[in-house]
Chains A and B, each alone.
Chain A
C-alpha cells in the first residue's frame, strides 16, 4: 500500500516535466477542438490558441488545475461569442492555478470570463469587449473572478459591460494592475473582498470608475484592506445603463472612485479628473438589510493625497442643483454621506487640504432628500492604516510573461 502511494506521488511530482502543448488553430471545427483541448489537458499543460477569429456558439469551460491558456495577442486571437446560443459566460474556469493570457473575448451573451472557486488565477493581457459600446443588452461582467484566493489581473482591457468591467467578488489576495476599464457601468469593482490592490489602471468613460463595495446576504462578507493607488480615473460620464435591479444601477453617472461599507481602504496618489458627480464618494449601504453579519458603514477609510481636477461639475444626484450653486458651481472632490458606525469608529480620514463635503445624514438608509449638506469635517491622515500583507501572492507575479 505504501509503495502504491509512493509511486503515485512520484508520478505527480514528475508530471510537469511531461507538460504538453495543445495547439488550437482558428477555422473549421475550432469550437470543438478548443473545448476538447481544455478538457483533455493535464495539470501543467498549455492550450495555445492560434491567431484569428474563433466563432463560438457555446460557452467554453476549463476545469483542470495549472493549465495555461494563451493566444497570439489580445488583438490577434479573438474568441467571438456574437452567435452564442448557450451558457452564462464565454469562458468559465473552475480549477486552481490557471493562467489566461494574450487573447480576447468579444460579445459574450452573459459574462466574459468567469473564474469561480479558482484560486491562484492570473489574467494577463486579456481583453473582453462588447463591440457595440455601452448597451444594457450587453453581458454583465467582463473579467469576473469570484470566491477565489489569489487573483492577479494585469494589462487587461474590458469595455461595454452592463455591470462591471473587471469585477472581483468574494475573494482575497487580489491585484488589479495596468488595466483599462472603459465604457462599462462600473469600471473596476472590488466587492465583498479583502486584501486587494488596485493600481495603475485607467478607468474612463464608465458610469463609475472604481468601486469598492461590501454587500449583505452573500456567502462571503466583510470587505476591507483595499488599496486604490496611482490610477487614472477620468471622464466617467456614461449614463448608467445597468439593469436597475443591480446594485451598480444606483451608482450616479460621473462617479470617480466610490467606497461603500468597507473597512481599511486607502485611496491615494490617483489622478481623478472630470468626473461630473464626484471625484471620490464614501458612503454607507443605503438599503434595508437583515443580515446580522453585515456592517453597512465605512470604517477607517483614508483618502490620502490625490490629484483631482474638474470633478463635480454636473452631479447626477436628485435635488442637488442648489447645493452645487452654494459651492460655486462645482462640488468639492470628496463626498461623504456623513454616517459613522459610532463615535469610536471613524468612517473617514482625509489628507490635509482635501476639498470635501458631507451630506450630514444621521442614520443608515436615510434618503438623500434628508441631506443637510455642508463642508467636510473629518480627521486628517496622510498615511494608510496597517493592512498587513495584501495583494496577489508573489507566486502569481512570477507567472506573468514579459
Chain B
C-alpha cells in the first residue's frame, strides 16, 4: 500500500473552489435587478424549455448559473421544501431567508465533504415584498456562503464585471423597461471589453411582480410583451441610451431616462396575460 501524499486543508479547499468556479464560468451570466414594482430576472438562454429562472413559491423566485442538472436538483429540492413548509404551517411562513439558509447549508455541506464533488452552481433566491423595502435578494456561491444583496446582482462567469457595471447605473424605482434594458446592456458586455448583440429570442426574462393580483407573483415575460418592453418608446432618449454606458455621470442621464421612459413603463405590465 502506497503512502498517500499530504495535501494541506487550505490547498484542498482552494482546489475545490477553483474547480467549482471553473464549472460556473462555463455558463452564461445572469442578472437579477430590483425595479419599482418588483424584481426582474434576465439571462441569455437559447433554450425555451430548460429554464434558468423559476418559481419556488408565491413570492419567491430562483435563478441559477452553472451546471444544469445540479441546479435543477436544488431547485426541485427547494420547491419541495417550500411546498411542505407551506402545507405544514401557512403560506406566509415560507420565506426566502429560510430557503436561502437551507440552500447555504446544503451547498456548504457538499463543498466541505471530501466524499462529494463540489456543486458547480451559483444561485440567487429572491423574494418580492409588499413594498420595495421588503424585497430580499440572496446570492449563494458554490461554497455555501450567503450574501444579502440590494439593487442588483449578477452571477456566473463574467459576474464581477457585470456587477460593477450594474452598481454604477442601477438606481431604485426604475421602471420594468428601464431595468430590463440596463440588464441587457450589462449582459452584452464581453470580458475583453467589447460588446455583442443579444437578440430578444435568446433572452429569458421573468419577474416577481408585486402588483399582480394573484397570490403567485412569478411570471415569465415572453413574445410580444418582451418585444414591447425592449423597444418601449421607440424615439428620443432610448436610442442614445446604449451610447450612454461610456459616460460616468449617471446622475443626469439617469433622470433623463426615467422621464423619457416613464410613459412606456406605466402601460406595459398588466397589458398581457
B is bound to A: no
Q: Which chain B residues have a beta carbon within 8 Å of chain A's beta carbons?
A: none
Q: Which chain A residues have a beta carbon within 8 Å of chain B's beta carbons?
A: none
